[in-house]
């Protein structure tokens, strides 16, 4: 999470330039990864949905922070929408066999 927040709040000159629209894929991909991590960490549906909701809130707060705390970045509602899309797609992993991937890779020991 720290990497995502830091990257989103870097000055515009410090981040590589990308083709138009690619930044939305970067936003969605970043929040997809965060959401997939949540799927691996939270066992109950309620906890997972709460984590997903907080990730969406984080995406919105990042956009506000870009407008308030950076000199050359502006808040973009489409970035927040891309973040939310990434969260939703990541949460869908909970409905696949990949849901318990870390537990299969690193079984609990008694």
Q: What is the pLDDT of residue 9?
A: 85
Q: What is the pLDDT of residues 40-85, one digit of tens each?
A: 999 899 999 999 999 999 999 999 999 898 888 888 999 999 999 9
Quick check: 22 and 82 in contact, CB under 8 A?
A: no
Type and span of the H or E element at 80: helix 77-91
Q: What is the pLDDT of residues 1-41, one digit of tens each?
A: 999 998 888 877 767 777 878 889 999 999 999 999 999 99
Round to whole Å and give the CA distance between 59 and 33.
13
Task: Give the residue from 51, 37, 27 showing the smallest Cα distance to 93.
Answer: 37
Q: How confident is the model at residue 110 (pLDDT cuts 50, 70, 90)?
A: low
Round to whole Å and give the CA distance between 48 and 51.
5
Show me where the domains of the chain are located. 43-104
Type and span of the H or E element at 52: helix 45-69
The predicted model gives 93-109 an average pLDDT of 86
Sign of the dihedral defined by the CA atoms of residues 8, 11, 63, 81, in that order: negative
Q: What is the pLDDT of residue 1?
A: 92
Quick check: 83 and 56 in contact, CB under 8 A?
A: yes
């Amino acid at each position: 999470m720290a990497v995502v927040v830091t990257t989103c709040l870097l000055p515009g000159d410090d981040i590589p330039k990308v083709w138009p629209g690619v930044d939305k894929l970067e936003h969605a991909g970043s929040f997809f990864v965060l959401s997939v991590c949540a799927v691996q960490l939270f066992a109950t549906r309620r906890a997972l949905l709460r984590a997903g909701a907080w990730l969406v809130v984080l995406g919105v707060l990042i956009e506000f922070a870009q407008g308030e705390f950076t000199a050359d970045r502006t808040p973009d509602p489409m970035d927040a929408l891309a973040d939310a899309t990434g969260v939703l797609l990541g949460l869908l992993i909970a409905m696949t066999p990949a849901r318990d991937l870390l537990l299969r890779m690193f079984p609990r020991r008694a």
